[in-house]
Amino acid sequence: MSENELYVDLREPRVYECGSLPGAVNIPLDQLGRLYDLPHDRRICVYCQAGIISEDIAELLREAGYDAYSLEGGYRRWLRERAAADGFCGGGAADGTLAQSVIQPAVEALISQER
């Protein structure tokens, strides 16, 4: 992610907490009005689970003057690609992105439930 790019996760907070793109902010669909508070000087990448809903949201943002796009295939596709790159699916060397995105938040959620 570049400094000029902002990732916005449109999924529900509980789902977002289980894993998201590193550095992403969560603006769930029931709070869409918050999207218009995003900075106009950054490129906005919106994503949902499969990249379908986020296509429409990116279009709305573009109509409002934002430089916005949808992450093709959504979080699922990104997660599959990270898993392959991290060696979980026969990919190359691990860089830890997948662990930061999914494994660590899931473990922390389990630990907090046990307390």
Residue of 18, 45, 48, 89 with catalytic role: 48
Q: What is the pLDDT of residue 82?
A: 83
Q: Which residue has the higher pLDDT, 46 or 100?
A: 46
Instruction: Specify the CATH number for the domain of residue 9.
Output: 3.40.250.10
Q: How far apart are CA 96 and CA 62, in angstroms?
A: 33
The total domain count for the chain is 1
Q: Which residue has the higher pLDDT, 97 or 27?
A: 27
For residues 88-112, give the mean pLDDT.
52
Q: Quick check: helix, strand or coil at residue 3?
A: coil
Residue 29's pLDDT band (boundaries 50, 70, 90)? very high
**Chain segment 51-86, per-residue pLDDT in tens:** 999 999 999 999 999 999 999 999 999 988 887 776
Question: Is 48 annotated in the active site?
Answer: yes
Q: The domain containing residue 80 runs over which residues?
A: 5-114
Quick one: CA dihedral 104, 11, 97, 43, positive or negative?
negative
**Chain segment 7-17, per-residue pLDDT in tens:** 999 999 999 99
Q: How far apart are CA 40 and CA 96, in angstroms?
A: 31
**Does the pLDDT of residue 110 top 50, yes or no?**
no
